[in-house]
Amino acid sequence: MKTIDSFDVKGRRVLVRADLNVPLDGGTITDDGRIRASLPTIKTLAGRGARVVVCAHLGRPKGKVAAEFSLAPVAERLSELLGEQVAFASDVVGESARSVVEGLADGQVALLENLRFEPGEDSKDDAVRGGFAERLAALAELYVGDGFGAVHRRHASVYDVPRLLPSAAGGLVLAEVEVLKRLTDELERPYAVVLGGAKVSDKLGVIANLLGKVDRLLVGGGMAYTFLAAQGHEVGGSLLQADQLDTVRGFLAEAEKRGVELVLPVDVLAAEGFASDAAFDVVDATSIPADRQGLDIGPRTRELFAEKIADARTVFWNGPMGVFEFEAFAGGTRAVAEALVKSGAFTVVGGGDSAAAVRRLGLPEDGFSHISTGGGASLEYLEGKTLPGLAALEG
């Protein structure tokens, strides 16, 4: 992939596909991590005299304009972080966008409205998507792909536009790919992967692929209960994907065959209901009462997982260990995060809820080797899939 150093950008309009898909509470950004991660590329281009046109998506408005998905709060926060006003276009490729872009001087930055307000952005119809891509590409002379969190999508701004303009990868994408190569091609062992989150079905591909690469696979979060049930244990009212039991039994057998240490919870916090103030008891993971549901890994499991992480040389973590949004059930996720910080290993936090948890729990971001901005993209890369956005930049 070409880098932005390949281009003379001074005085030229550069379209930067960033990932600014931040969580909002009303109009308030609750985690600006993705905006901050996009700053270096934007600052570099602006510093070299480019007329920077940033485009991004927010949420899933499904091709319709929806005020709650406007990027206006992001434009405001981006202005604060850059220390200068970011011009905001009230549409994507319409009159406002054209006017804002035409008004840029060298070194100035603009942000277009939410890409997904346009049905062509994520259309499955190549012609519809291609038509929108042409209108978007017409706003600029060069393209920089820096939205790693979207590179696994075959969307117009990610896949089609870089095929229409001279293109390069931004610093964020290059850094993410370098890290992922260290997780696939340049491994230091022991290699431990910690997977959590709600559903095992979300991670079928990555588990299947990782069983051929890892030394240890630690499974927590809601997905752990399907593994426990596959072993024949009662999981009470805990999250269970019964339709995945046979698949999980296959994973258990494959792990044993390959000599992969597959580590499951030995105790859990079994709550009376799904609520922040729900009463709970610590129970063995193999005997969760019928009227209880597991909402976090227990103290013995936290110690066990920390022990399995301690002597690893490479650790990838994706997915919380419990309902970390509730303080009473955040302890397991905190314990895993702290174990990564203490380990001395090359540690990668795989985006999404894991990255949000690190910031929500107030843990030092520099305590990890890398915090990814793209959970889904990271997982698909580790599955061995071709990511459309990367393929377009390479092609």
Q: How far apart are CA 9 and CA 146, in angstroms?
A: 16
Residue 59, marked binder: yes
Annotated catalytic, 292? no
Q: Tell me which residue of 122, 121, 118, 155 sits closest to 387, measured CA to CA.
A: 155
Instruction: Please tell me the number of Cα atoms within 13 Å of 322 on its side-chain side.
Output: 31
Q: Of the residues 352, 374, 375, 389, which is catalytic? A: 352
Encoded amino acid at 220, one letter = G
Q: How far apart are CA 302 and CA 291, in angstroms?
A: 24
Calculate ∠ Cα 263-267-273, nearest 5°: 120
Residue 34, marked binder: yes
Q: Tell me which residue of 165, 115, 166, 156 sits closest to 133, measured CA to CA.
A: 156
Q: How far apart are CA 308 and CA 301, in angstroms?
A: 10
Q: Tell me which residue of 41, 53, 155, 30 sits closest to 104, measured CA to CA.
A: 53
Whether 161 and 145 have beta carbons less than 8 Å apart is answered as no
Residue 62, marked binder: no
Annotated catalytic, 376? yes
Residue 135, marked binder: no
Q: Of the residues 34, 216, 302, 334, which is catalytic? A: 34
Residue 129, marked binder: no
Please classify residue 369 by burial: count the beta carbons closer than 10 Å to its beta carbon, then call 0-12 exposed, 13-18 middle and 19+ buried: middle
Whether 108 and 51 have beta carbons less than 8 Å apart is answered as yes
Residue 116, marked binder: yes
Residue 354, marked binder: yes
Q: How far apart are CA 189 and CA 168, in angstroms?
A: 33
Q: Say how many residues make up the chain.
A: 395
Q: Of the residues 236, 298, 376, 389, which is catalytic? A: 376
Residue 352, marked binder: yes
Residue 353, marked binder: yes
Q: Of the residues 98, 199, 213, 359, which is catalytic? A: 199
Residue 155, marked binder: no
Residue 380, marked binder: no
Residue 351, marked binder: yes
Residue 202, marked binder: no
Annotated catalytic, 216? no
Q: Tell me which residue of 138, 51, 68 sits closest to 103, measured CA to CA.
A: 51
Q: Tell me which residue of 148, 158, 150 sits closest to 179, measured CA to CA.
A: 148
Interior/surface letters 240-273, b for 16+ CB within 10 angstroms, e for the rest: bbeebbebbeebeeebeeeebebbbbbbbbbbee
Annotated catalytic, 344? no
Residue 114, marked binder: no
Residue 19, marked binder: yes
H-helix or E-strand spanning residue 337: helix 331-343
> Binding site for substrate: which residues?
19-21, 34, 57-60, 116, 153
Mind telling me the catalytic residues? 34, 199, 352, 376
> Binding site for (2R)-3-phosphoglycerate: which residues?
34, 116, 153
> Binding site for ATP: which residues?
203, 294, 325, 351-354
> Binding site: which residues?
19-21, 34, 57-60, 116, 153, 203, 294, 325, 351-354
